[in-house]
Structure 1
Amino acid sequence: MGFSELLLGFLNAKLDIGPGILWREIIGNGFGLASAILGMQRRVAAWPIGIIGNILLFTVFLGGVFHTPQDLDLWGQAGRQIFFFAVSVYGWVRWYGYRKSHAGEKAGVQPRWAGWRGRLQLAIAAVILWVAFYFGLSALGSWGPAADAWILTGSILATYGMARGWVEFWLIWIAVDAVGVPLLLGAGFYPSAIMYVIYGGFCLAGFVAWWRLERNPRPEVQPQQVTQAR
């Protein structure tokens, strides 16, 4: 059996429950959950693992294009996988650079609050992005454009906040989950809806963990010193 046949078999593999649940939706969300757990632990590996999940879920949410059992196009859900990919590369580089420059440090970031300036930036970006995405997704015929636009907006801001090490990013994720669960249940993407509920619990735990680290940081590891030739 050739590679193309194996790939086609994987893309079409599904559980015969209801209209059918694609294995790539289950596996993609599994990678997303692994990324969330590693993110809570501030591990650099959270980013590449999350990217794999993004690629799989991109094909899932364009149901009309890739002929999923739901046959619905959630352009916001699909589009956020592309933004995830781009912001995840930024976060991957940023966290890797932090870990590399701090000798003996396994974590990729030191949690901190965004501050009023950072929160103002997030609020302004949230309004601008939601309006732009709402009209764009409506024009594309996305199912549930208002909720889809918020999920896309919040996901971008949360991922950016995670890359910056802002504690608030966990709260943004919780707000995304609160909107995403009913949207995905209504659209028939049941594994993703269930994962959103689980994500919500991890986000709450992640917020508490990062909040404690921000309040009581570990002794700072000194950056590696570069010896200059004399």
Structure 2
Amino acid sequence: MIDWLLHGTIPVAGGELLAREVVGNLFGLASAILGMKRLVWAWPVGVVGNVLLFTVFVTGELSGASSDPLWGQAGRQVFFIAVSLYGWYRWSRSRAAGGAADGGAITPRWATARERLALIGLAAAGYGAAYLLLLQIGSWGPQTEAWILAGSMLATYGMARGWVEFWLVWILVDIVGVTTLVRAGFYPTAAMYVFYGGFCVVGFIAWWRAQRAAEREPTGPDAAEEVAA
């Protein structure tokens, strides 16, 4: 099984997919579903997918294509792992403290004006730093990959904090990601990203509804919802 996961392929129309690519994306989808439900398991499940996808992006073997490594895509997997540990810790603490009134680990909320300004500043700084780094180490498309890397950082951190806006950031990342993957010839994974984009819309609506429900019932067991970082 391990040998198949590391070296196996799955035949599809017109070619084949790496087993790691498919399984990694399935773990990513499972993490997104658990995240939409605000369950702590979203984080460790996501880490497994991140590790598998890192090995795919960093070798340039995506969808069986021979290409330069997508360092932006690979780099964000490393960041996902780091932030997932933070999110895992934060959601576990919130869950232990009683969680949300509807059973979720956290209660979603909109970011404050100050937090949004901070996110914009981090987005600009993160994009600039990622762009300069990718220019130095080489990348298939540093402009788009820099946004994918910076946007992914913000979205994952926003999820850890429980901000509803993180779904909107993911949608923007997916739009750029799909464009990049199509131009690079990675069509199967691009199709998966299209699906993820649609799922992000569903997730946004689910968290928005949960946030509105929490506003109507502010005295639930998650009244002290904001766990210290």
Q: Decide whether aligned partners of structure 1 residues 65 and 215 sit closer, same or farther in structure 2, where only a CA change above 3 A counts.
A: closer
Greater mean alpha carbon deviation, residues 48-57 or residues 135-144: 135-144
C-alpha deviation, 1:212, in angstroms:
1.4
Q: Could you tell me whether the CA contact under 8 Å between 2:99 and 2:106 is conserved in 1?
A: no
Over residues 66-117 of structure 1, what are the superposed CA-to-partner deviations in whole Å (9 max), with x where a residue is unaligned? Answer: 9x53332000100100000000000001001101111786311100010111
Greater mean alpha carbon deviation, residues 206-215 or residues 72-81: 206-215
Q: Could you tell me whether the CA contact under 8 Å between 2:60 and 2:70 is conserved in 1?
A: no
Q: Decide whether aligned partners of structure 1 residues 103 and 210 sit closer, same or farther in structure 2, where only a CA change above 3 A counts.
A: closer
Question: Does the residue aligned with 1:62 lie in a helix, a strand or coil?
Answer: helix
Q: Return 5+ residue gaps in structure 2 as ranges.
A: 223-229
Q: Tell me, in whole angstroms, the C-alpha distance in 1 between the residues paired with 2:15 and 2:131.
A: 28
Q: Could you tell me whether the CA contact under 8 Å between 2:177 and 2:193 is conserved in 1?
A: yes
2:38 matches 1:36: no
After the TM superposition, which segments of 4 or more aligned residues of structure 1 sit over 4 Å from their partners? 16-19
C-alpha deviation, 1:63, in angstroms:
2.2
Larger Rg: 1
Q: Tell me, in whole angstroms, the C-alpha distance in 1 between the residues paired with 2:21 and 2:176.
A: 19
Which of 171, 183, 186 is the equivalent residue of 2:180? Answer: 183
Aligned to 2:8: 13
RMSD of the alignment, in Å? 2.2
For these two proteins, the number of residue pairs brought into alignment is 219
Aligned to 2:126: 129
Query: After superposition, where does 1:76-225 map in structure 2 within 5 Å?
Result: 76-102=72-98, 106-217=103-214, 218=217, 220-222=219-221
C-alpha deviation, 1:48, in angstroms:
0.5
Question: Does the residue aligned with 1:216 lie in a helix, a strand or coil?
Answer: helix
Q: Return 5+ residue gaps in structure 1 as ranges.
A: 1-5, 224-230
Q: Tell me, in whole angstroms, the C-alpha distance in 1 between the residues paired with 2:83 and 2:99.
A: 26
Which of 18, 35, 54 is the equivalent residue of 1:22? Answer: 18
Over residues 166-217 of structure 1, what are the superposed CA-to-partner deviations in whole Å (9 max), with x where a residue is unaligned? Answer: 0000000000001000111222333321121111111111111111111221
Which of 47, 57, 64 is the equivalent residue of 1:61? Answer: 57
Greater mean alpha carbon deviation, residues 11-20 or residues 133-142: 11-20
Q: Tell me, in whole angstroms, the C-alpha distance in 2 between the residues paired with 1:191 and 1:25.
A: 10
Question: Does the residue aligned with 1:21 lie in a helix, a strand or coil?
Answer: strand
Q: Could you tell me whether the CA contact under 8 Å between 1:61 and 1:72 is conserved in 2?
A: no
Q: Could you tell me whether the CA contact under 8 Å between 2:100 and 2:107 is conserved in 1?
A: no
C-alpha deviation, 1:135, in angstroms:
1.1
Q: Could you tell me whether the CA contact under 8 Å between 2:27 and 2:49 is conserved in 1?
A: yes
Question: Does the residue aligned with 1:152 lie in a helix, a strand or coil?
Answer: helix
Give the % identical residues.
55
Q: Could you tell me whether the CA contact under 8 Å between 2:69 and 2:140 is conserved in 1?
A: yes
Q: Normalising by the residue count of structure 2, what TM-score does the alignment of the two structures yield?
A: 0.88
Q: Decide whether aligned partners of structure 1 residues 219 and 11 sit closer, same or farther in structure 2, where only a CA change above 3 A counts.
A: same
